[in-house]
Amino acid sequence: MQKERGRPREKMILEGAQAMTNGELLSIMLGSGVRGRPVQEVAQALLNVASGDLAVLSKMPPQGYTLVEGIGMAKAVQISAALELGRRRQVASQGKKTVEVIRCSKDLYRRFSLRLSDLGHEEFWLLLLNRSNAVMSEVMVSRGGLTGTIADPKIIFSKALAMGAAAIVAVHNHPSGNRRPSRADRELTKNLHWAGKMLDCPLLDHLIVAGDDYFSFADAGEL
């Protein structure tokens, strides 16, 4: 029995998933090691690549996992899929507690932080609000690469007007973790602000999610 407890699979059966270390859970996901290198050692090496941080590990592409001896592309894809399922589960759980009325930038960050904080690419989202600032809908406008994504004001307001929104909020992420707006971010915000005034569908805020931090154009007095 003591020998079985030392094996990740048996330990999980006997004690449950919550009793497992991150390395043991990764060992189960990997399934097997390579000759002369047990699976627990391979799992620990993978954790070490991310300095033991699962958030960092989840941002890595599958190709990054293959840098560890004993992890081929097939196993790398399995790991990436499992981590993505965990992230989606967090987003789904958060959705049940999502703020339905937007009162401040913190409400926006709470709504989008889990979805955008750990992404390795940029996404641009649009939040559509009614006249009470209650959320009508949220729409992903575009998805880009590590350094940017394209957001066309014409597309943004066509979606807003089609849904009968009274106001909009723009949200996108910076995978770099730097919350400071780029020149393109400021130019886009300026254009959205102007177009919103002309169309009587004001831009209430443009939020940049940067890991555990964020930047709000409204809070900064730039709207």
User: Which pLDDT tens digit goes with each residue over 33-61?
Assistant: 666 678 888 888 888 877 788 777 877 78
Domain residue spans in the chain? 2-93, 98-216
pLDDT at 147: 57
* Average pLDDT rounded to a whole number, residues 212-222: 93
Burial of 161 (C-beta count, 10 Å sphere; 0-12/13-18/19+)? middle
| Parallel, antiparallel or unpaired: strands 203-210 and 167-173 | parallel
Q: How many CB atoms lie within 10 A of CB 221?
A: 7
Please tell me the CATH code under which domain 98-216 is placed: 3.40.140.10
Residue 82 pLDDT greater than 60, yes or no: yes
Check: CB of residue 177 under 8 Å from CB of residue 146: no
Cβ(122)–Cβ(173) below 8 Å: yes
pLDDT digits (tens, 9 = 90+) for 56-80: 787 778 888 888 888 888 888 888 8
In whole angstroms, give the CA distance from residue 195 to residue 41.
57
Question: Is the pLDDT reported for residue 91 higher than 70?
Answer: no
